[in-house]
């Protein structure tokens, strides 16, 4: 995990929110304030924290390298999100770490990610781990 966080430059946040009361907003804000580029992914917003929000990973310009895809969706959708990441990866050749926030991971999602050769972090808060390892 230290390796992942030491080299963290760009994070796509699936389920990012512009609502200041949502955890995904706080974590995106923390990452941005710590010099990490955020790519909010949510079809319901035009922007989050002053950054253009995209409806899906497919809308991210191909010249942007993503280090981590952080999933902030209900666990009912996690396997589908992993399928979307795998599909996007096949088009772009990128293999970012798939990170699932607390209570987001499922056995199916983990199996899909690992079978496709992705590093997979389950049920961890990216902000908490970054603060712990940066400090």
pLDDT for the residue numbered 103:
93
Tokens of 14: 């699936």
**How would you write the pLDDT of the chain (135 residues) with one tens digit per residue?**
888 898 899 999 999 999 999 999 999 999 999 999 999 999 999 999 999 999 999 999 999 999 999 999 999 999 999 999 999 999 999 999 999 999 999 999 999 999 999 999 999 999 999 998 875
pLDDT for the residue numbered 135:
57
Which pTM does this prediction carry? 0.95
Go through the domains of the chain in sequence order and give each one's CATH number.
2-134 (3.40.50.720)
Q: What is d(CA 52, CA 40) in angstroms, rounded to the nearest whole number?
A: 7
Distances (CA, A) of 44 to 3, 55, 101: 33, 8, 20
């Amino acid at each position: 995990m230290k390796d992942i966080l030491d080299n963290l430059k760009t994070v796509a946040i699936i389920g990012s929110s512009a609502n200041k009361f949502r955890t995904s907003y706080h974590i995106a804000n923390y990452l941005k304030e710590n010099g990490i580029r955020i790519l909010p992914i949510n079809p319901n917003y035009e922007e989050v924290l002053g950054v253009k929000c995209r409806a899906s990973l497919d809308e991210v310009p191909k010249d942007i390298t993503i280090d981590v895809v952080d999933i902030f969706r209900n666990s009912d959708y996690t396997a589908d999100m992993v399928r979307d990441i795998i599909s996007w990866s096949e088009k772009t050749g990128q293999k970012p770490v798939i990170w699932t926030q607390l209570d987001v991971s499922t056995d199916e999602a983990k199996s899909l990610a690992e079978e496709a050769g992705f590093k997979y972090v389950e049920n961890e808060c990216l902000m908490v781990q970054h603060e712990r390892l940066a400090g």
